[in-house]
Amino acid sequence: MVSTTPPASTRKSRIEAALLAELSPTDLIVVDDSERHRGHGGWREGGETHYAVEVVSAAFEGKSRLARQRLVMDALKAEFASGLHALSVTTRAPGE
């Protein structure tokens, strides 16, 4: 029998979907950095706890670095609530 249940989404795919929906980026890179943090606070077997994101979006135009990071963090509240421990954020407006 073939299962019709879709595979569980990964945190990476959920992060990508949330940032695409909220910020309509022209460029988006999401990297699971969990293995680099093995043994540190918040790390757990299987990863998906520490990520780095690079986002280029017109939503960042005219905003401070802090305001840009808040936009990213707000878009990912559900991920932090469900086990995302740390996020490294690089943000740019188009042309920067």
11-92: what fold? GMP Synthetase; Chain A, domain 3 (3.30.300)
For residues 37-59, give the mean pLDDT: 75
Q: What is the pLDDT of residues 55-77, one digit of tens each?
A: 999 999 999 999 999 999 999 99
Between the CA atoms of 92, 90, 75 and 50, what dihedral angle is there, to the nearest 10 degrees?
160
Q: Which two tokens stand for residue 29?
A: 């890179």
Q: What is the pLDDT of residues 22-34, one digit of tens each?
A: 999 999 999 988 7
Backbone phi and psi for residue 17, each to the nearest 5 degrees, phi listed first: -60, -45
